[in-house]
Structure 1
Amino acid sequence: MSLSPKERLLNVLHNKNVDRPPVICTGGMMNAAIVDVMTQSGRTLPEAHFEADLMAGLSRDVQEQTGFENFGIPFCMTVEAEVLGSEIDFGTLECEPKIRQEVFPSVGTVIYRDIRQMLDAGRIRKVAEAGLRLAKAHPDVPVIGSLTGPVSTAASIVDPMQFLRELRKDRENSHRVLTYVADFLIAYARLLVDGGASAICIGDPTATGEILGPRAFEEYAVEYLNKVIDGIHDAGVPAILHICGDLKAVKPLVPKLRADAISTDAMVNLRLLKEEYPTLTTMGNVSTYLLEDGDSEKVARTTERLVKDGVDIISPACGLSTSSSLAAINAMTGTVKESR
């Protein structure tokens, strides 16, 4: 079986046969623009957050130097929050962007703006243009557009502690905010698909059982993640979802999520998860601490075990540190490519 990286990934996401698992790093929360890559290539952050040609070039550098079988854009989780009004610290070469100040103190104070106009704000068009350049230049490599999930996006425009309290105390306005955010994310995803994205990955680190608890996870995370996933499917591409943390508290709810693949943190045993829910397409979950420590032999052994366990897509378990070892990442990608 001879498959291009794009064919291999899409086959897995559509439950078709492949010769081996794809090995990917999706961008967004799983940003692989590490210092080792940037210092070698000369294309660096934060500059590449703002220019489509630099973003596309750095994404290509990452793919070529790490061996990941995709292009992942953007390189942070702040694109949505910036457009929705929050103040952003754009970081440095070694430090990723973060929210400096949320724009609203509570869900009851959120101002609802026209989503069509917001698609021309901030970096959205730059991200879409970068995706289009990559898709045209490299048609056999999948472009993965990354979204910050609805719960995390809402918690990045409303004071997060207040937001989490108001999920229980002001459910009406909380649902209204999440509907607004989800509609915006769907519109953004459609723009990325129009720009050539082969798949969309959602990273929603605030939407965990540990943070929300099972009841709020079902009421908010499942409902609005599925709303966004359905919108991505309507745009014509598959959706990948990363869930942070330990799944124990919400594991029975995972099959209700309509994503085409579920990515998890390193503490989740994907072999057992697959045994319990055989229809799940699993993704992950090489420890990012292991990748940062740089022990290539341990990385290779961990990766080999995941392949033998039948994990469908191999990837880092969560967001990579910018100081992650390029040698360790290459041990991971090389081990997958040697497997059959």
Structure 2
Amino acid sequence: MPTLTAKERLLGVLQKQPVDRPPVICTGGMMNAAIVDVMQRSGQTLPAAHSDAVLMAGLAAAVQQYTGFENLGLPFCMTVEAEVLGSEIDLGTLECEPKITREAFSSAAAVVYKDIPTMLSSGRIATVCQAAAILAKQHPDIPVIGSLTGPVSTAASIVDPVQFLKDLRKDPVSSHRLLDYVTGFLIAYALALIDHGAAVIAIGDPTATGEILGPKMFAEYPVVYINRLIAAVHQKQVPVILHICGNLSSAKHLLPAFKADAISTDAIVNLKQLKDEFPGITTMGNISTYLLEYGPAEKVALQTSNLIADGVNIISPACGLSTSSALSHIRAMTSTVKKE
């Protein structure tokens, strides 16, 4: 097999084509790899890079260079969508990621609906898109991944999350209206990222878990709205990676309903068993983020080798990395994939 570029390898796996080895990636967004170690070594730092396209592109390139991940992932948080939709955001520090300080609305029924095209020119949407364009031009052989917060989590970031979860049960009419609105916005954002050079779209939806919602609401809400988002991206001939947090047991039977090109899971999930049960699913993950933070590097390398031996299609951290994760531990993962 001829030597593949990082972009060819990832796209090949997502298209279910044979490749020389698994890609090793970290998508950005909820799986942000802008760790303190990389920022201190490179001089490319947050929070400044959250709001400046050139700085954002520079930090994404530094993350790829220092960690060995085979992608360029944007943005470095899960608050871009919430900010545009009206919630108040603290952009954090070098060590702390941005967070929502106040949700915009008290309930699903109270949401004020904005014009989606207008929102695309507000907040940090243009910054992320411009950074994607810079990276796609400068690194044509490395895939730019545009990372989105999924519909359920985005809705829970603009409505008080406790009330939102109650509304899913008690006020389904308002909840569906909200999720339809949020999904329409996410589709527009995803298409803008694609137009600016994103080769893959990743969706992280940590609130959309069977553990939180139960199987009935999991089928009613995440499956429906995530698939609507995926379908719009697929119309652009761009693949989608979906990350689902937590224990999948209660909703595992619904995984094949998702139309994503790969499913990423938390460390608690046995990916070998998942592959055996659902051989049609392209699997991604799931190196323990606890292990990546605390090590040792030898155990990281061993867990990586085990995942490769189990036939996991894409090697990646299991969830969001701690900003204090050691670069040496991440390098143990990426170098093991490239050696095997």
TM-score, normalization: structure 1?
0.99
Correspondences of 1:139-154 after superposition (within 5 Å) = 139-154=140-155
Letter in 1 for 2:39: M
Which residue of structure 2 lines up, in the alignment, with residue 215 of structure 1?
Answer: 216
CA positional deviation for 1:294:
2.8
CA distance in 1, matches of 2:317, 2:249: 20
1:300 aligns with 2:301: yes
Give ranges in structure 1 of 5+ residues lacking alignment. none
How many matched pairs? 339
1:282 aligns to what?
A: 283
CA distance in structure 2 between the aligned counterparts of 1:32 and 1:175, rounded to whole angstroms: 33
The residue number in structure 2 matching 1:259 is: 260
Residue 98 of structure 2 is matched in structure 1 by 97
CA distance in 2, matches of 1:213, 1:73: 30
* Structure 2: gaps (5+ residues): none
Q: Distance in 2 between matches of 1:66 and 1:116?
A: 36
Residue number in structure 2 paired with 1:163: 164
Q: CA deviation at 1:232?
A: 1.1
Please name the residue that 1:69 is paired with.
Answer: 70
Whole-angstrom CA distance in 1 between matches of 2:68 and 2:42:
15
How big is each residue's C-alpha offset from its partner over 1:294-338, in whole Å with a ceiling of 9 and x where there is no partner?
310000000000000000000000000000010000000000001
2:338 paired with 1:334:
no
Q: Residues 93-242 of structure 1: matches in 2 within 5 Å?
A: 93-242=94-243
- 2:59 matched to which residue of 1? 58
The alpha carbon displacement at 1:255 in A equals: 0.4
Q: Pairwise CA RMSD of aligned residues?
A: 0.5
Moved more, 227-236 or 19-28: 227-236
Any idea what the Cα deviations from partners look like across 1:26-68, whole Å, max 9, x if unmatched? 0000000000000011111110000000000000000000000
Q: Write the deviation string for residues 88-141 of structure 1: whole angstroms up to 9, x where unpaired.
A: 011110000111000000001111111000000000001000000000011000
Q: Counterpart of 2:15?
A: 14
Question: Displacement of 1:236 after TM fit?
Answer: 2.2
CA distance in structure 1 between the aligned counterparts of 2:278 and 2:237, rounded to whole angstroms: 25
2-structure distance, mates of 1:233, 1:183: 15
* Cα distance in structure 2, aligned partners of 1:19 and 1:302: 20
AA of the residue aligned to 2:113: Y
User: 1: CA distance between counterparts of 2:87 and 2:226?
Assistant: 22
* Partner of residue 271, structure 2: 270
Cα drift, residue 235 of structure 1: 2.3
- Does residue 42 of structure 1 match 2:48? no
Q: Deviations over 1:153-211 (max 9, x none)?
A: 00000000000001010000100000000000000000000000000000000000011
The residue type paired with residue 38 of structure 1 is: M
Aligned AA (1:5): A
C-alpha separation in 1, matches of 2:218 and 2:99: 24
Measured against aligned partners, the alpha-carbon deviations of 1:216-275 in whole angstroms (never above 9, x if no partner) come to 100001001101111111122000000000000100000000000000000100000000
1:86 Cα deviation after fit: 0.1
Question: Which whole-Å CA distance do the structure 1 matches of 2:23 and 2:180 have between them?
Answer: 33
Query: What is the letter of the counterpart of residue 108 of structure 1?
Result: A
Instruction: Look up the equivalent residue of 1:320 and give its one-letter code.
Output: L
- Distance in 2 separating the partners of 1:201 and 1:165: 27
For the residue of structure 2 that corresponds to 1:31, the secondary structure is: coil
CA distance in 2, matches of 1:259, 1:317: 17
* 1:71 Cα deviation after fit: 0.1
Identity of aligned residues (%): 67
In structure 1, distance between residues paired with 2:93 and 2:46: 6
Query: 2-side partners of 1:325 and 1:295: how far apart?
Result: 10
What SS is found at the alignment partner of 1:155?
A: helix
